[in-house]
Amino acid sequence: MGYRLVRALARLLVSLFYRRVEAVGLDRIPASGPLILTANHQNALIDPMLILAATSRRLVTLAKAPLFRNPLFGPLLRLAGALPVQRQQDPGSDMAKNEAMFRSVIEALGRGGAILLFPEGLSQPKPTLMPLRTGAARMLLGAERIAGEGLGLTLLPIGLVYHEPGAFRTGWALILVGKPVATSDCVALYPTAPEAAVRRLTERLAEALRHVMVEAEDQQTLRLLQAVEEIWREESAASDAGAAARAAWMQRVMRGYRYLAPRERARIERFRNEVERYVKDLDLAGFTGRQLSRTYTRRAVWRYAAREALSLLLGLPLALAGIANHLIPYQLTAAVVRRLKPDLDDEATYKVTAGVVLFPLCWLGEGWVAWWLGGGWL
């Protein structure tokens, strides 16, 4: 019951915060059997929320231990059945407790459970894969060794791709589930050469994660890449505009970009500047590339104007009421986030957290004011 509540809350929050959330390859996640899901980590607590919201299986999530001491996140993590991970960089960490965590994970896998972890070990804002920790490989190989008769554990990579990850109702997210990582040779090697098996599987997992990610040097480069992809798709009238096809196109272009950047530096810089100006002009005009590239007939323009005018006429009173009710918590949330000055990878987490606290408090305050003003009528 507790896990379902946490998953429902995660689904609500990510659907409210992001304009669009797409998932590709969810059918690759087995409905039963031991499973380890691994993902890149560049958006703090939003990353596990996205995966919990998208998957139907119950997942045991590994999270850094300090979160369990947080008065807001701690109860939710316990409700979800998450396990704390001790990290050397966290104050007050007790690394000896990780042995119990490893035992709990291996026992859960032996029972056919599913584990979610982020093998980079920490969140960072750049859309690049950092060196992986060996925990995922050790858990898988340890569980297979204890089972003894072929546990058949599945290891899946998940790529998380964001557009403006910290922007409320402007950003969007893409979840790409990759093919299972081959593990049988590593399992066979583990009894005689455990460190070699762990190293081989970790390297293989890193390659699998890169295959489902769109890596770029920073978020601005990724945003420009997404703008170029949109231009190409509209100008070429590409029939296959699915999320997987778009991600594959961006991966190919980034490979070309990394190859050409040191060889054609001046031309690449000019092209990048042109794309930056294009994106800036779109932002100033309030258009998307898709809207700009289309041709519009007079009939379509009149139909659009009539539809929008009717929507404005009918929806304006409700919109004004909504603005009046939510302006204070919205501005308070923005002020709190500005005051705290989060890192880029924490921005969405801070906004969601502040909103979860401040909006209900303001609703309670508004309810109390209405009750007080209404007196005995309410």
Q: What is the CATH number of the domain that holds 99?
A: 3.40.1130.10
| Shared-domain flag, residues 43 and 119 | yes
| Shared-domain flag, residues 23 and 157 | yes
| Shared-domain flag, residues 174 and 43 | yes
Confidence (pTM) = 0.92
Euclidean distance between CA atoms 89 and 110, whole angstroms? 30
| Shared-domain flag, residues 285 and 366 | no
| Shared-domain flag, residues 264 and 362 | no
**Strands in the chain per DSSP E:** 20-24, 35-39, 60-64, 83-85, 114-117, 154-163, 172-177
Q: How many CB atoms are closer than 10 A to CB 340? A: 12
Provide the number of structural domains found in the chain: 3
| Shared-domain flag, residues 7 and 150 | yes
Which residues neighbour 329 within 8 Å (Cβ) at sequence distance 6 or greater? 355, 358, 359, 361, 362, 363
| Shared-domain flag, residues 206 and 254 | no
Q: Out of 211, 240, 264, pick the residue that ends a domain.
A: 211
Instruction: Give the Å distances, CA to CA, from 123 to 57, 102, 328.
Output: 24, 21, 31
pLDDT tens-digit profile, the chain (378 residues): 799 999 999 999 999 999 999 999 999 999 999 999 999 999 999 999 999 999 999 999 999 999 999 999 999 999 999 999 998 888 878 888 889 999 999 999 999 999 999 999 999 999 999 999 999 999 999 999 998 777 899 999 999 999 999 999 999 999 999 999 999 999 999 999 999 999 999 999 999 999 999 999 999 999 999 999 988 887 776 655 688 888 999 999 999 999 999 999 999 999 999 999 999 998 888 777 777 767 778 888 899 889 988 888 888 888 898 898 899 999 999 999 999 999 999 999 999 999 999 999 999 998 888 888 876 555
| Shared-domain flag, residues 264 and 305 | no
DSSP annotation of 128: S
pLDDT of residue 21: 96
Q: Out of 261, 293, 325, pick the residue that ends a domain.
A: 293
pLDDT of residue 67: 94
The domain of 129 spans 2-211
Q: Out of 194, 211, 228, pick the residue that ends a domain.
A: 211
pLDDT of residue 300: 82
Euclidean distance between CA atoms 342 and 41, whole angstroms? 16
| Shared-domain flag, residues 62 and 120 | yes
Amino acid at 118: F
Residue 134 tokens read as 């060996």
| Shared-domain flag, residues 125 and 270 | no
| Shared-domain flag, residues 42 and 189 | yes
